[in-house]
Amino acid sequence: MGYKTKVQLIKRKKSEQWYINFPSAIAQAMEFSRSENVEWLISDKQHLILRRPEAPNDPIQVKKNGIPSLRE
């Protein structure tokens, strides 16, 4: 399932800024924090990768059979 959003452009006299907003459901599921630093990596013209250098650890480990288990 995906969430669609629009790219926004704000033009000023001497600059422009591009924005992509995260839907609240995605931000909450990913446990983003306010002012968190992230970096964008360009995979190709269809894919951007958002890297979170200081992301919290995932509490669930998914095994190859697809069955989740709690990390210890």
Give the tens place of pLDDT for each residue, 3-54: 889 999 999 999 999 999 988 988 998 889 999 999 999 999 999 999 999 8
Please give the tally of structural domains in the chain: 1
Q: Are 71 and 63 in contact (CB under 8 A)?
A: no
Global confidence as pTM: 0.62
Q: What share of the chain is helix, strand, coil (3-state, %, to 5)?
A: 10, 40, 55
What's the confidence (pLDDT) of residue 2? 79
Establish if 2 belongs to a structural domain.
yes
Establish if 59 belongs to a structural domain.
no
Q: Range of 37's domain?
A: 1-54
What's the confidence (pLDDT) of residue 67? 61
Establish if 60 belongs to a structural domain.
no
Q: Report residue 70's pLDDT band, with 50, 70 and 90 as the boundaries.
A: low
Establish if 70 belongs to a structural domain.
no
Establish if 25 belongs to a structural domain.
yes
Establish if 64 belongs to a structural domain.
no
Span 55-62, mean pLDDT? Answer: 76
Establish if 36 belongs to a structural domain.
yes
